[in-house]
């Protein structure tokens, strides 16, 4: 059992039973019919609280993760990258600098920033694994205070490998699965279906764009630096402000920052309506990070060819979680983010002047 | 007038999920305010029934999360899971109690943000993508934050083990050896 599962097992087992002592109560009766919520005063007080209210319905049928950990090295096995002092492999650096030359920003203007991704995940259904996916479109208003709309659809699930397919047949080829939680118990009767689901639209009070443990307005995003060093310094400043206790060694802080910059590069390239020059600065910033690996002949979960830039997130026990940013170095396009049994496949981003669908 | 269909839908969602919202409220802000958080959450759910997705649990926990932030932030910041869990611990065998106490103490030693991420996945039966919806970030970002939270948890666990284990009651065998 790897360290991740061990930690999550300990937490699951320590779940206090007081959590389940909800008093029996009748359905509350509220006198008025459903109506739009007025803006609560707290929204003006803190923009972060607003962001906390975003609850998309992505993959509403998605169940409990049991990390399959295929991308994780067990303790004792050395991760592919070993020292943060090592220079980046020339190829990773070269591919990233090439991508920086080609990459562009999404053209156009509008009232909404619309991003579309596909989420893939491998689920433990007891005895074998199935891979499920869902599609999520996020409509983010550029104007502050507007609602964010999430349009999601479950795309279906199937046994993950040939061995899983055999186990699935042996189990009677079920078309749906009950999911188990990290504690091995079935989680609230949650189900996963082989068939695709219907489109689901949900709307939540708006928020700013999340990055670096904080959130930025559209105007702040337009002011992001297009210089890689300044961009890096800015992200470190945001991250430092998000808080860290005082017991970290300089080495731990250095490694943390590399992980933070690596992961926020995905945010910059996929989630945010950044101005010209920022995607190129992001690739150039990445090119300067230590400890990157490269797989020049990678494919994302949709089979698109590209290069995978890898970084091993280090666990306390020396095991690692390999994370990959898959890009097309020829066009500078973003393809996917992969970690453990999860993959987020980037499909598109655009501006829209027409409002999102309402149902 | 309220439509009967809206009432039925609300009643169904309440019946199915109010215990899970309660569990989340206790884990975030403690028993004293859990009932209030459940009430406030379902008031919002009633008013925004049109926005509620077909599978509403992540949405409901997201609303509850906002209620905690807006009205019970002090309770959330001062919460000690260890003290919340104490009454039930007495009936258990000492070793299991000690292990769970160390885990809860380690969770208590973390910031409220880390504790929330870990318990969303560990205690409330959410997948990472659902938990990401609750906290309002992408799944990729959530995984990164969870990874960091878990690392800090492991560090805290090591420190708490050193602090808590020596005070564990001696077993009968150890008594005899003395």
Average pLDDT over residues B50-76: 84
Closest CA to A284 of A102, A137, A75: A102
Distance CA A39, CA B66 (A): 13
Q: Which residue has the tokens 């007891």?
A: A126
Residues in chain A with CB shorter than 8 Å from the CB of B154 are 3, 7, 315-317
**Which residues make beta-bridge pairs with A137?**
A116, A151
C-beta separation of B104 from B85 below 8 A = yes
Q: Cβ distance A311 to A323 under 8 Å?
A: yes
* The two three-digit tokens of residue A180, written as one number: 């188990």
pLDDT at A278 (0 to 100): 96
Contact B125, A179 (CB under 8 A): no
Q: Using 50, 70 and 90 to split pLDDT, how confident is the model at A125?
A: confident
Q: Give the Cα separation of B75 and B124 in Å (integer).
A: 20
Give the whole-angstrom CA distance, residue A144 versus residue A149. Answer: 14
Residue-level pLDDT at B8: 77
Express each pLDDT in A187-231 by its tens digit: 444 578 899 988 877 776 556 787 776 778 899 999 999 999 999
- pLDDT tens-place string over residues B16-44: 889 999 999 999 998 888 988 998 899 88
Average of per-residue pLDDT across B164-168: 42
Which A residues 278-297 touch B at CB under 8 Å? none
Among the ranges given (A56-60, A116-120, B1-5, B7-11), the one the predictor scored with the smallest mean pLDDT: A56-60
Provide the pLDDT for residue A70. Answer: 36
The whole-number average pLDDT for the span A130-158 is 85
Per-residue pLDDT for B64 more than 80?
yes
Q: Do A64 and B125 touch (CB under 8 A)?
A: yes
Measured CA distances, A341 to A218, A230, A249, B139, B164 (Å): 32, 34, 31, 12, 35
Residue A68 has pLDDT above 80, yes or no: no
Contact B130 A28 (CB under 8 A): no
Q: pLDDT digits over A153-173, tens only? A: 889 999 989 999 999 999 999
Measured distance CA(A154)–CA(A131) in Å, rounded = 12
A79 pLDDT tier (thresholds 50, 70, 90): very low
- Tally Cβ neighbours within 10 Å of residue A241: 11
| High-pLDDT (> 70) share of chain B, % | 81
Q: pLDDT category, A292, cuts 50, 70, 90?
A: very high
Whether A181 sits inside 8 A of B125 (CB atoms) is yes
Within 8 A by CB and 6+ apart from A30, the residues are: B43, B46, B47
B80 and chain A in contact, CB less than 8 A? no
pLDDT confidence tier of residue A71, bands split at 50, 70 and 90: very low
How confident is the model at residue A194, as a pLDDT?
A: 93
Average pLDDT, chain A: 76
pTM higher than 0.90 for the full model?
A: no
Q: How does residue B100 score in pLDDT terms, banded at 50, 70 and 90? A: confident
**Distance between CA atoms of A92 and A82, rounded to whole angstroms?**
16
Better-scored residue on pLDDT, A319 or A48: A319
Residue A72 has pLDDT above 70, yes or no: no
What confidence category does residue A50 fall into, taking pLDDT thresholds of 50, 70 and 90?
very low
**d(Cα A121, Cα B103) in Å, to the nearest integer?**
28
Q: What is the DSSP letter of A268?
A: I
Which is nearest to A291 in space by CA: A264, A265, A323? A323
Per the model's pLDDT, the better-predicted residue between B157 and A347 turns out to be A347
Cβ neighbours of residue A250 under 8 Å, at least 6 residues apart?
Answer: none
- Bigger pLDDT: B132 vs A69: B132
Tell me how far apart the alpha carbons of residues B110 and B117 are, in angstroms, rounded to a whole number.
11
Supply the pLDDT for residue A49. 28
A313 vs A56: which has the higher pLDDT = A313
- Percentage with pLDDT > 70 across chain A: 72
Q: How many CB atoms lie within 10 A of CB A178?
A: 15
| Mean pLDDT of chain B, nearest integer | 78
Structure tokens at A192: 């996963």
Q: How far apart are CA A346 and CA A335, in angstroms?
A: 5
Residues A235-267 pLDDT 10s: 999 888 765 555 667 877 888 788 889 988 988
Q: How far apart are the C-alpha atoms of A337 and A343, rounded to whole Å?
A: 6
**Which residues of chain B from 28 to 67 reach within 8 Å of chain A, CB to CB?**
31, 34-35, 38-39, 42-44, 46-55, 57-59, 61-63, 65-66
DSSP string, A181-203: -TTSSEEEEEEEESS---EEEEE
Whether the CB of B73 is below 8 Å from some CB of chain A: the reply is: no
d(CA A149, CA A106): 20
């Amino acid at each position: 059992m790897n360290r991740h599962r061990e930690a999550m097992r300990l937490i699951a087992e320590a779940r206090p039973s007081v959590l389940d002592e909800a008093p029996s109560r009748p359905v509350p009766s509220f006198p008025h019919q459903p109506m739009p919520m007025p803006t609560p005063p707290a929204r003006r007080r803190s923009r972060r609280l607003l962001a906390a209210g975003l609850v998309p319905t992505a993959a509403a049928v998605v169940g409990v993760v049991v990390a399959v950990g295929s991308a994780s090295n067990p303790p004792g096995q050395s991760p592919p990258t070993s020292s943060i002092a090592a220079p980046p492999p020339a190829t990773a650096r070269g591919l990233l600098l090439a991508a920086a030359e080609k990459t562009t920003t999404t053209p156009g203007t509008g009232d909404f920033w619309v991003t579309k991704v596909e989420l893939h995940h491998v689920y433990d259904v007891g005895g074998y694994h199935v891979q499920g996916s869902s599609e999520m479109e996020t409509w983010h208003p550029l104007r502050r205070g507007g609602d964010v709309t999430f349009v999601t659809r479950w795309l279906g699930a199937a046994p993950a490998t040939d061995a899983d397919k055999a186990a699935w047949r042996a189990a009677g080829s079920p078309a749906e699965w009950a999911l188990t939680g990290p504690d091995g118990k079935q989680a609230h009767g949650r189900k996963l279906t082989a068939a695709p689901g219907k489109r689901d639209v949900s709307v939540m009070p708006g928020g700013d764009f999340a990055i670096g443990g904080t959130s930025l307005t559209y105007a702040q995003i337009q002011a992001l630096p297009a210089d890689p060093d300044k961009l890096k310094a800015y992200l470190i400043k945001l991250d430092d402000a998000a808080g860290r206790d005082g017991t970290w060694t300089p080495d731990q802080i250095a490694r943390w920052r590399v992980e933070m910059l690596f992961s926020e590069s995905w945010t910059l390239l996929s989630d945010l309506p950044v101005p010209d020059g920022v995607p190129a600065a992001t690739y150039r910033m990445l090119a300067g990070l230590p400890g990157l690996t490269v797989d020049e002949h990678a494919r994302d979960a949709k089979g698109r060819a590209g290069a995978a830039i890898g970084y091993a997130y280090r666990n306390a026990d020396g095991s690692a979680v390999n994370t990959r940013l898959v890009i097309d170095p020829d066009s500078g396009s973003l393809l996917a983010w992969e970690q453990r049994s999860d993959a987020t496949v980037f499909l598109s981003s655009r501006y829209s002047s027409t409002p999102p669908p309402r149902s | 007038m309220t439509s009967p269909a809206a009432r039925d839908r609300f009643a169904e969602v309440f019946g199915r999920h109010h215990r899970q919202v309660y569990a989340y409220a206790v884990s975030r802000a403690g028993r004293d305010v859990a009932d209030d958080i459940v009430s406030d959450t379902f008031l919002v759910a009633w008013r925004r029934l049109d926005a509620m997705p077909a599978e509403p649990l992540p949405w409901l926990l997201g609303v509850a999360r906002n209620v905690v932030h807006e009205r019970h932030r002090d309770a959330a910041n001062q919460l000690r899971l260890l003290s919340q869990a104490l009454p039930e611990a007495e009936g258990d065998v000492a070793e299991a109690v000690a292990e769970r106490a160390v885990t809860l103490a380690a969770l208590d030693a973390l910031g409220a943000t880390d504790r929330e991420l870990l318990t969303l996945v560990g205690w409330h039966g959410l997948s990472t993508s659902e938990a990401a919806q609750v906290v309002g970030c992408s799944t990729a970002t959530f995984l990164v934050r969870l990874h960091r939270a878990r690392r800090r948890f492991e560090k805290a666990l090591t420190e708490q083990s050193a602090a808590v284990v020596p005070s564990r009651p001696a077993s009968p065998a150890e008594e005899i050896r003395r």
